[in-house]
Amino acid sequence: MNNQQPSQQLADIAIVGVGVMGSSLARNFARNGYRVALYDRRAENVSKLIAEHGGEGEFVGCNDLQELAVNLSKPRRALLMVPAGTATDAAIDDLVEAFDEGDIIIDGGNSLYTDTVRRERAVALTGRHFVGAGISGGEEGALTGPSIMPGGPQESWESIRPLLESIAAKVDGAPCVRYIGANGAGHFVKMVHNGIEYADMQLIGEAYHLLRHGAGLEPSRIAKIFREWNDGDLASYLIGITADILEASDPDTGAPMIDVIHDAAGQKGTGRWTAKEALDLGIPATAIGEAVFARALSSSTELRAAALDHFPTGNLADFAALGISVEEFIEHVRRALYASKLVAYAQGFDLIAAGSAEYNWNINPRDLAAVWRGGCIIQAAFLDRIDNAYEKLPELPSLLLDSYFTGELDGLIDSWRTVAASAIRLGLAAPVFSSSLSYYDSLCSKRLPAALVQAQRDYFGAHTYRRVDSDGVFHLDWTGDKSQEQKR
C-alpha cells in the first residue's frame, strides 16, 4: 500500500471493469445507497458513467488500483467485472498487491470454476479472500436486480452479504442470492445455469420452428401463442422475450425481424463447459449436450450449404398428412415443450448434485430454486415446484421422480411423442425435443441395450461384465469354448 489519502468519504465497494455489466452493477449499488469506487483500464468508461449517471448515487472515480484501495472502507471489497481468463488473473494479481490481509476480491465474471478453485487457493495464501460469484440477468438484470451465486470463504460471504442482498432481484420479498459453497461452487452453479439456459433456448427455438415451418404459422401468430403460454405452466423470462422478438419487424424492410437474422448461433463457452463436466462426472445431461451441438451445427454454414441441395431427404410428409389440426398441434407442442424443459432442469440439478458430491460443496438444491426464481435468464414459474420437491425430499434422486412432476409428465407424454414423431415425418430437426424424450424413455425401460454393449466390450477387450443372477464380474471366452466363464 502507498501513503495516499482518501479524496472523500470512503466507498463501500469497488467495481473494477466498468463495461456494460460493471456499469449496471455500479449503478445498482449506488441506487441502493452504497458509495461505489470505480476503476477501469479505459478511464473514459469511468468518466462516462459518472457523467451520465452520477445523479443516481455517490461514485468515486479512481485512476489506478492504489487510489482505489485507499478510497475503500475495510475490509475492502472489490467486484471484478473483466473478461474471463488472463485478464481476470492479471486484475487479481494487481488487487492482491494493492489490498491488505482480510480484504475481499470478488470475481463476478463467467469464469470456469476450476480457475476459481485455483485462484481462491492462491489468494488465500496471501491472506486476502477470494469469492467467485456467478451473476445472471444480463445488462437489465445487473441494473434492476440480478440472480447472484457466490462461492468462497464463509467469512467473506458474511461480509458481502448485505451488499449483494440489497442489489439482487427480489421475489416475494426474498433476495435471489444465497451462499452456494466453498471455492468454485458459485461459478460451477452459474456454469450449469448457463447450460440449462442453452437447452431452454434451443427448445423454445425448436417449438417456434415446428409452428412456423411445420404448421405454417406466421411469426405474429406465434408471438400471440407464446404470450398465452407465458400465462400458464410455461411462464418464464425466455418465453416472454420470445413473444417480444416474434412481434418485432425489421425497420428497413418491414419483414419479421426473425427472418432477417442469420440462423447461426454464437456461444461464449459456458454451455460447452457444462457438457464437458457432465461427461467427466458421468451425468447424462443430454438436453444440454444436444443444445450445444445444435449451436455448433447452426454455425457450420458451409457444410449446411453443401448439404442443402445434395442430401436425399426421403419421402417427407406435409402438415396435412399428419392428421392433426393446427390448434391440436399447437397444444401438442406446448406440452412437449413443458416436458422437455422439465428434463433439462432435472439434468442440470443432477449435474450440480454430482459436482457438489465430487468437490464436497454441500450445495442445497433448494437454494438454487430460490436464487433462480428471479433476476436470471432461466427464471420460470415451476421453480416454486422444484423448491417444494426438494423440501419434501432433500435427497430426491431426480426431479422427475417427484410426485408433482411425475403427475405432470403423465399428461404430457402422448403429446411429447406426437411432436417428436411429427418432426421426423416433416423433416424438421428437433434434437433437444427428441433427445429429452429418449432420455425419459431410457429411464422408463426395464432393459437397455447396454447388456449387448457390455458383451461386445468383453468380447474384444476382456473388459468383463456383471450378471443379473449373481454378484461379481465375469469374463467369457467368446471365440473358444463358450461354457468357460471365469469369475474375476
Q: Using an 8 Å Cβ cutoff, are 241 and 314 in contact? A: no
Q: Using an 8 Å Cβ cutoff, are 13 and 37 in contact? A: yes
Residue carrying the nine cell digits 488472463 = 86
> Exposure pattern of 340-354 as b/e (b: 16+ CB <10 Å)?
bbbbbbbbbbbbbbb
Which three cell numbers mark 161? 452479504
Catalytic residue among 190, 290, 341, 408: 190
Catalytic residue among 67, 120, 197, 290: 197
Phi-psi group of 39: left, alpha or beta (phi > 0 → left; psi -120 to 50 → alpha; rest → beta):
beta
DSSP string covering 272-315, please?
HHHHHHHHHHT---HHHHHHHHHHHHHT-HHHHHHHHTTS----
**Helices within 57-153 (DSSP H only):** 65-70, 86-98, 113-124, 138-144
Which three cell numbers mark 305? 450449404
CA separation for the pair 364, 313 (Å, rounded): 48
How do beta strands 129-136 and 485-487 pair?
unpaired
Which three cell numbers mark 107? 470475481
Residue 197 is among the residues annotated as catalytic for this protein: yes
Residues serving a catalytic function are: 190, 197
